[in-house]
Amino acid sequence: MAYTGETTFHYLRRIRLLNAIKILQEDADCPITEIALSVGYETPSAFNKVFKTTLKLSPSDFRNLGKEKQNALIYDLSISPQQKEMPMNLTTKPEFINRSVTHVLYVEKSGIFKEVAMPTWFELIPIVDKKVDKNIITEYLGFSIMDANTQDEATMFYDAAVGVQEKPLSIPKGLKYKQMPGGKFAKFILIGPTSGVWDAFDRIYKILAENKVQLRDGACIENYLSNPEIVPEDELVTELLVPVL
């Protein structure tokens, strides 16, 4: 598969294991046999063999790991070989800026970023192209909104949005309208494919933690500054913003 840099067989094996370890983490009472069958393995022994070969531990061992080590394995398994090898052109020092309230028309989905972000944009863009006057669009924005009471990525809301000058007199069918709060943000610049956005945010959080920058509640923002129809993928510029105190 060109996008992931792995064969179909290896991709399916990785996704099956990823689904399995999420169940192992979330449901401590679910039998391993039931998990093996639910993710597509015909026998528990086949599941255990692939699990040990890939992750160097058994399903039971995984359950006994601390939450932090479990999350690290989940994250590592979620990244394709191509993404692991892809160099990241990301600024390493934050610039602190203030944003005003933004009027947005948007489509919203809930779930893991890597699974819902692209489908959300695929739903938004055709509606915007047909029903929104280009003269009122100010920005193309993505908003990642986590529930402050959990670290479960599956509970995240993702908005694909266009910023507009003001609230439209009528909201196009298929879109919603709201005002996104402004405030102080740490700004980073990513140059390259937009598929690297989520991994860039992961690195950004580490940079902010190392610099003891305090975060605040609010949505992280992707501000897409390039037109992908005319700019080469490796030259796309995306502004990444994290709300900070």
Which is higher by pLDDT, 30 or 87? 30
- Rounded CA gap, 193 and 233, in Å? 5
Does some domain include residue 90? no
Do 46 and 103 lie in a common domain? no
Q: What range does the domain containing 186 cover?
A: 95-243
- Rounded CA gap, 111 and 137, in Å? 27
pTM beyond 0.85: the answer is no
- Model confidence over 3-56: pLDDT tens digits? 444 455 666 778 888 889 899 988 989 999 999 999 888 888 989 998 998 889
Do 226 and 135 lie in a common domain? yes
pLDDT for the residue numbered 3: 41
pLDDT band at 152 (very low <50, low <70, confident <90, very high): low
As beta bridge partners, residue 157 has 110, 145
In order, the DSSP letters of 103-124 are: EEEEEEEES-HHHHHHHHHHHH
Sign of CA dihedral 110, 124, 241, 218: negative
Which is higher by pLDDT, 186 or 18? 186
pLDDT band at 1 (very low <50, low <70, confident <90, very high): very low
The enclosing domain of 50 has a CATH number of 1.10.10.60
Does some domain include residue 2? no
- In this prediction, residues 162-186 reach a mean pLDDT of 96
pLDDT band at 160 (very low <50, low <70, confident <90, very high): very high
Do 115 and 232 lie in a common domain? yes
Does some domain include residue 3? no
The one-letter amino acid code at 29 reads D
Domain count, the chain: 2
The CA angle 105-106-107, to the nearest 5 degrees, is 155
Do 30 and 145 lie in a common domain? no
- Rounded CA gap, 189 and 93, in Å? 10
